Amino acid sequence: MGARPDPGEHAIRGLYAVTLSEEGYEGTASLLTDTLGFRHVDEEGNRFRFDTGEGGAGARVDVLSEPNALRGAVAVGPPPSTTWRAWRAPTRRRRRRAVRDRHRRARLHR
């Protein structure tokens, strides 16, 4: 790795939350709560908030239900992804199986 182009104090150190825009929120809500262990903690209008662990920065997903929004177009390159860490191997294996069994369209990465 080369030298940093900017001082470390200006580097991105994390993300506060992820926002997903979906045609409907129900399927994503089921994946988050029933399979991945998130909790539904708030909603306002078409925004549904889910937290994992202690919640807050780095442990939050907002799902926007936008049935009339334009659909995304296929582009070149890999799809964007978001990862949350499961510290213990048994938890990772159990959740991977649950995603595979309940949500066949989900993309699983190791």
CA atoms within 13 A on the CB side of 51: 9
Domains contained in the chain, number: 1
Whole-number pLDDT of residue 64: 92
Q: Per the domain annotation, does 93 fall within a domain?
A: yes
pLDDT at 43 over 90: yes
Q: Per the domain annotation, does 7 fall within a domain?
A: no
Q: How does pLDDT run across 83-93, given as a tens digit for each residue?
A: 666 556 777 77
Whole-number pLDDT of residue 62: 93
Q: Which domain holds residue 99?
A: 16-68+86-110
Whole-number pLDDT of residue 23: 87
Question: Which stretch of DSSP H or E encloses residue 8?
Answer: none
Q: Per the domain annotation, does 37 fall within a domain?
A: yes
Residues in CB range of 6: below 8 A, 6 or more apart: none
Average per-residue pLDDT for the chain: 77
Is the pTM value of this prediction over 0.85?
no
Order across the sheet with 60-65: list the strands.
Answer: 18-22, 60-65, 47-51, 39-44
CATH code at 97?
3.30.720.120
Q: Per the domain annotation, does 28 fall within a domain?
A: yes
Q: Per the domain annotation, does 44 fall within a domain?
A: yes
Cα–Cα distance measured from residue 47 to residue 102, given in angstroms and rounded to the nearest whole number = 24
Whole-number pLDDT of residue 81: 65
